[in-house]
Structure 1
């Protein structure tokens, strides 16, 4: 999936062949590398952390706080982003400047991953390679779904905690976390609202999760697993009694990129083992 990594030490300008690309989404950047088109990258956003060489690419800022000047200074032929990117006025400025803009709808579905592959294929002039990649990923996704569906036991109640700051939040419906919990054979134990809400003692007691799901970055932000479990709200949950905690890298877990089938398969196994 990372063809051409051996030449990434060379200046991007010297390697670049084909349309000049800026990617605004860590998952979209992953697709560029999966298609072997990384030599065409002239910039990425700050969520583009994988594969490791993506860290060395020029950064255009956070996906929701883009600057037209910063993007245009890199002279891209195409910018590939999701509908979560913005602000909208910056996207309009890119269009006015004649930059091709590929906006992928972010709806937390397998279709989102497919659209990202297709968008990169179009923008990078690698549509044949994109079709081959999509066929392989579709096969991986189908196999993973069959594995999850084969489990006929009780589905674990899972709570996702977004804990990158001192004020953790919990995930309701219409979120990436809600989707991956379901894909992996669990049940999001918080329903009745969309998006994220503060993690309160009342919410924890009523949700009664069997498993807490969070990102490895969230655990690091808390200073480790012990300090994470020390939060008094978590002591009210069945998960606390078992110390049932599942973690995964944030981009892998919530990015909806080409590694999603493997990420979901890993989550499924861990849901069954805690």
Structure 2
């Protein structure tokens, strides 16, 4: 057991305005605390920029802060998200790949904005108005601009309509394949967990999952509101076979999604396994 102690409940998947959430990292920690969370991870998309602010806020509230990131990956056009816990943020290979993904996000957002502007009143400054300086620009920021312009009611309508991947305005994002993403996280001393692995797109093919596991994948986020029961049952069998880590999280985005901190949590023993497995960085204890 580690010398330092954390307390549950633990929510290990929260987003701030440094990616596609609507609150500052400090506000995210305060919201988590208000909902009873006592150990929290900030997992913004492809960035660790909010760690310092979140850690200061969390520890001031008597919480444990567990640094994380949600890394983008793609498999045959499908988006796969790998939660990367306790990575070394200065690891050169990981930083290089994340920088490439972030650059792709920016180019993609500009291209999508140009396409949408042909049919809707929308400009690049409109989108930037909903994006914090240095944030990972993405479709949620375009969605927020569309809402502000009155073209859609909310992000959900934007994603199902104008920003739908099957629509004319959509542009694919560059991201590494999931096996490479797992290797990069492990190489940075982190613990990789697949986020919402049984969502609408279904579970990844068994051979891909096994290659990810052979590369060092530590487990799955099985308690998540987007997961489907059938897919969770399939993954449970793999968890039992390989003695994997299982997490539960809210995927909180502030006003960007209805998800609330602590609506799903990770058991203390699984949090401890993540801490004990990692070598990249350490939790920040109060």
Q: Shorter chain as normaliser: what TM range?
A: under 0.3
Structure with bigger RCO (C-alpha 8 Å, 6+ apart): 2
Structure with greater proportional helix content: 1
- TM-score normalised by length of structure 2: 0.26
TM-score when normalising by structure 1: 0.26
